[in-house]
Amino acid sequence: MADAETKSIDKASIEMIEKAASDGGDKSALIQILLTIQSENHWLSKDALMWVSEKLSIPLTQIYHISTFYKAFSLVPKGRHSVSVCLGTACHVRGAPRLLDKVTDALKVKPGGTTRDMRFTLNTVNCLGCCALGPVMVVDGQYYSKPSTKEIEQIATACK
Amino acid sequence: MPKLNSATDLEKFRQRILTHRDPNKVSVAICSGTGCHAYGSEKVAEAFVDEIERNGLRGKVDIRRTGCHGFCERGTIVVIFPEEICYLRVKPEDVPEIISTTLVEKKLVDRLLYEDGNGQKIVHEGEIPFYKHQNRIVFGNNRLIDPKSLDDYIALGGYSALAKALFRMTPEQVLEEVKEANLRGRGGGGFPAGIKWETTRNAPGEIKYVIVNADEGDPGAYMDRSLLEGNPHSVLEGLLIGAYAIGSHQGFVYVRQEYPLAVENLDIALGQAREYGLLDKNILGSGFDFDVMVHRGAGAFVSGESSALMTAIEGRVGEPRPKYIRSAVSGIWERPSNLNNVETWATVPLIINKGVDWFRGIGTEGSKGTKIFSLVGKVNNTGLVEVPMGMTLREVIFDIGGGIPKGKKFKAVQTGGPSGGCVPESFLDLPIDFDELAKAGSMMGSGGMIVMDEDTCMVDLARYFLNFLAEESCGKCVPGREGIYQMLKILNRICEGKGKEGDIELLEEISEVVRDASLCALGGTAPNPVLSTIRYFRDEYEAHIKEKRCPAGVCKALISYYINPEKCQACLICLRDCPVNAITGGKNLVHAIDQDKCIKCGTCLEVCPTRFDAVVKLSGVAVPEPVAEGTEVVRKRGGKK
Q: Where residue A133 sits, what CATH number does that domain have?
A: 3.40.30.10
Scanning A119-148 for CB atoms below 8 A from B yields: 125-134, 136, 143, 145
Same structural domain, A131 and A93:
yes
Return the SS3 of B28: strand
Whether the pLDDT of residue A2 is over 80: the answer is: no
* Domain tally, chain A: 2
Residue A119 lies in a domain: yes
Is residue A154 in a domain?
yes
- Note down the domain range covering A120: 81-158
Of A69, A95, A110, the position where a domain reaches its end is: A69
Chain B stretch 442-461, residues whose beta carbon is closer than 8 A to a beta carbon of chain A: 448, 450, 452, 456, 461
Each residue's pLDDT tens digit, B53-110? 999 998 899 999 999 999 999 989 999 999 999 999 999 999 999 999 999 999 999 9
Q: What pLDDT is attached to residue A25?
A: 61
Q: Letter for the amino acid at B15?
A: Q
B171 and A CB contact within 8 Å: no
Looking at the structure, do residues A53 and A85 belong to the same domain, yes or no? no
* CA neighbor of B123 nearest in space, from B83, B85, B81: B85
Confidence of residue B472 (pLDDT cuts 50, 70, 90): very high
Is A111 within the bounds of a domain? yes
pLDDT score, position A36: 87
Q: Is residue A8 in a domain?
A: yes
Residue at A31 is within a domain: yes
E strands present in B104-249: 114-115, 121-122, 209-214
Q: What does the pLDDT read at residue B299?
A: 87
Tell me what the mean pLDDT of segment B16-31 comes to: 94
Are residues A110 and A151 both part of a single domain?
yes
Are residues A95 and A29 part of one domain? no
* Same domain assignment for residues A151 and A95: yes
Instruction: Please check whether residues A65 and A86 belong to one and the same domain.
Output: no
CB contacts of B376 in chain A (<8 Å) are: 89-90, 131-132, 134
| pLDDT, position A8 | 63
Quickly list H helices, B502-567: 503-517, 521-525, 527-542
Higher-scoring residue by pLDDT: B626, B385 = B385
| B405 has pLDDT over 80 | yes
For A94, the closest chain B residue by CA position comes to B377
pLDDT, one tens digit per residue, over B358-384 is 999 999 999 999 999 999 999 999 999
Q: Which of A45, A69, A93 is where one domain is finished?
A: A69
In the prediction, which pLDDT does A3 show? 47
Rounded Cα distance, B479 and B486, in Å: 10
pLDDT at A24: 61
Residue at which a domain ends, from A69, A99, A119? A69
Q: What gap in Å lies between CA B376 and CA B102, rounded to an integer?
A: 32
Q: Are A131 and B374 a contacting pair at CB < 8 A?
A: yes
For A74-112, what is each residue's pLDDT tens digit? 999 998 899 999 998 889 888 899 899 999 989 999 999
Cβ burial of A59 (10 Å; 0-12, 13-18, 19+) is exposed
Q: Using a CB–CB cutoff of 8 Å, tell me whether B580 touches chain A.
A: no
Query: How far lies B603's CA from each of A42, B187, B335, B406, B625, in Å?
Result: 36, 40, 57, 19, 21
Please list the residues that pair with B387 across neighbouring strands: B371
pLDDT tier at A7, thresholds 50, 70, 90: low
Cβ pairs A/B, distance under 8 A: 128
B313 touches A at CB < 8 Å: yes
Q: Is the pLDDT of residue B489 over 80?
A: yes
pLDDT digits (tens, 9 = 90+) for B532-550: 999 999 999 999 999 999 9
**Residue A29 binned pLDDT confidence (cut-offs 50, 70, 90):** confident
| pLDDT recorded at residue B638 | 56
Residue A76 falls within a domain, yes or no? no
If one compares A125 and A14, the residue with the highest pLDDT of the two is A125
How far, in Å, are A16, B61, B64, B69, B148 from residue B26 at the CA level? 45, 5, 11, 19, 20
Are residues A86 and A64 part of one domain? no
**Which of the four pLDDT bands, split at 50, 70 and 90, describes residue A40?**
confident
Q: Are residues A142 and A91 in the same domain?
A: yes
CB contact under 8 A, A28 and B314: yes
Cα distance between residue B224 and residue B213, in whole Å: 9
Shortest Cα distance, chain B CAs vs residue A142, angstroms: 7
Q: Confidence band (pLDDT; 50, 70, 90) for B637?
A: low
* CA B185 to each of CA B48, B192, B195, B369: distance values in angstroms, whole numbers, following the listed order: 40, 6, 11, 11
CA B181 – CA B176 distance, rounded (Å): 8
Nearest-Å Rg of the Cα atoms of chain B is 28
Chain A contact set for B602 (CB, 8 A)? 98
State the average pLDDT over residues B124-139: 94
Q: What is the pLDDT of residues B252-267, one digit of tens each?
A: 999 998 888 999 999 9
The model's pLDDT over A112-159, given as tens digits with 9 standing for 90+, comes to: 999 999 899 999 988 887 888 889 999 988 889 899 888 999 999 998
pLDDT computed for residue B369 by the predictor: 96
Contact A92 B378 (CB under 8 A): no
As a whole number, mean pLDDT of residues B179-189 equals 95
B170: Cα within 13 Å, side-chain hemisphere:
3
The confidence score (pLDDT) of residue B287 equals 95
Report the mean per-residue pLDDT for chain B. Answer: 94
Give B164-196 as a 3 state SS string: HHHHHCCHHHHHHHHHHHCCECCCCCCCEHHHH
In-domain check, residue A7: yes
| Region at B157 (left for phi over 0; alpha for psi -120 to 50; beta for the rest) | left
Is A74 contained in some domain?
no
pLDDT band at A1 (very low <50, low <70, confident <90, very high): very low
Q: Do A59 and A11 sit in the same domain of this protein?
A: yes
CA distance A51 to A130: 38
pLDDT at A56: 87
Same domain (yes/no): A47, A27: yes
| 8 Å CB contact between A42 and A78 | yes
pLDDT computed for residue B640 by the predictor: 47
Q: Which residues 55-114 on chain B approach chain A with CB closer than 8 angstroms?
A: 72-73, 75
Kindly state whether residues A65 and A90 are assigned to the same domain. Answer: no
Q: What is the 3-state secondary structure (H, E, C) of A86-134?
A: ECCHHHHHCCHHHHHHHHHHHHCCCCCCECCCCCEEEEEECCCCCHHHC
| Residue-range domains of chain B with CATH | 21-131 (3.40.30.10), 158-359 (3.40.50.11540), 370-453 (3.10.20.600), 458-547 (1.20.1440.230), 559-639 (3.30.70.20)
